[in-house]
Amino acid sequence: MIKNDLYLKALRGETVERPPVWMMRQAGRYLPEFIELRNKYDFFTRCQTPELASEITVQPIRRFPLDAAILFSDILVVPQAMGIDFKMKENVGPWLDDPIRTTEQVNNVVVPDVNDTLGYVFDAIEMTLEKLDNEIPLIGFAGSPWTILCYCVEGKGSKAFDIAKAFCFTNPEAAHLLLQKITDTTIAYLKRKVEKGVSAVQVFDSWGGMLSPTDYKEFSWQYIDQIVEALSPLTHVVVFGKGCWFALEDMMKSKVSALGVDWTITPEIARKLTNNSITLQGNFDPARLHSSPETIRRMVHEMIDRFDKDKYIVNLGHGILPNIPVENAEAFIKAVVEWKG
């Protein structure tokens, strides 16, 4: 039994004394101990070495009174497993030498046996659970099929993913085939994570907000919903779509346990769109962690009061930024722990 199950209670919609708290990208680049490992090992070596991924996962847990851990990994390990050779380029980010732009390339993409290609992730889960020793739950995650397609077609990060969108609109058949292959791989991957012991999974749709509401339904949500349908009988599924407030009403009709929201929507509108019927997660602006600890504390307390403590998970509206002072991250977390209704 997990000793601190506040996060799981919130996912079940139960009454709690205070909401749980964790931060997207909490295992990462704002921590000096993470930077130490980053200086020794390249990005995908950290992801693909279970001992390193496990160590990075628990680094913030040693420092802060967090209510959940999230496994250190990356959404691009899924396309790598499918034979799409992503690298992490210095000062550029994700990089693909040969982006997917043709039907022939899509036909050549494989749906792998995840046990063969992603075994290092499952080993990292085992090691991490041993370190966590049932203190708090462990979250597993994957990128949404649309977000992964964006990187596969664009070949790198982008402000608008125009090439990826053009590919979908000019060659929808190939786009849907690629999205389905990514979906099938992701379902197998997340199911195996659940078998290995994660307590919940989160799907990150980082680039869903690039699409119009109509195109979002066609090229993103229908594939996320397949993942939700496949995983929801096995575990809690959280969906976070950055910039996707317009889809909240559709999302809440699915079998998700919670929906993440970013900082561009008010708590009141998010509750209204979801009919106050589902757990929400978010939505502190990560850049606001540059404010003073006192301001952060006040803003976090206001945020909780506006969302209400039940059916709510305190988090950022996206991942923590690399230049945030550690004491400000701590102020954010402690503000939740010390909140009194």
Domain definitions of the chain by residue range: 6-337
Task: Give the pLDDT of residue 341.
Answer: 84
Are the CB atoms for 250 and 259 separated by under 8 Å? no
> Quick check: 86 and 154 in contact, CB under 8 A?
no
**Under 8 Å between Cβ of 142 and 75:** yes
Q: What pLDDT is recorded for position 196?
A: 98
Separation CA 135–CA 238 (nearest Å): 21
Identify whether the C-beta of residue 168 lies closer than 8 Å to the C-beta of residue 216: no
Copy the structure tokens of residue 312. 């709510």
Q: Which residues of the chain have a pLDDT value below 70?
A: none
With contact defined as beta carbons under 8 Å apart, do 140 and 193 qualify? yes
* Paired tokens of 153: 């077609």
**Element housing 241 (H / E):** strand 236-241
CA distance 4 to 17: 13
Whole-number pLDDT of residue 91 = 87
Q: Kindly report the number of other CB atoms within 10 A of residue 155's CB atom.
A: 18
CA 59 from chain centre, in angstroms, equals 18
Helices (H), the chain: 6-11, 32-38, 43-48, 50-63, 77-81, 103-108, 114-117, 119-132, 145-154, 162-170, 172-196, 213-216, 222-231, 248-251, 267-273, 293-307, 326-337
Residue entry with tokens 């209704």: 341
116 in a known ligand binding site: no
Does the annotation flag 26 for ligand binding? yes
pLDDT of residue 100: 98
Residue 236, annotated as binding a ligand: no
Task: Report the catalytic residues.
Answer: 25, 29, 38, 74, 151
105 in a labelled binding site: no
Helix (H, G, I), strand (E, B) or coil at 287: helix
Looking at residue 59, what is its pLDDT? 98
- Judged by DSSP in three states, 106 sits in helix
Give the HSE-up count for residue 329: Cα atoms under 13 Å, Cβ half-sphere: 25
* Structure tokens given for 140: 């597993």
Angle at the Cα of 140 (from 9 to 235), degrees rounded to 5? Answer: 50
Residue holding tokens 């279970």?
Answer: 50
What does the pLDDT read at residue 337?
98
According to the model, what pLDDT value does residue 90 have? Answer: 86
199 labelled binding-site residue: no
- Fill in the amino acid letter for 75: I
Evaluate if pTM is beyond 0.85.
yes
Q: Does domain 6-337 have CATH number 3.20.20.210?
A: yes
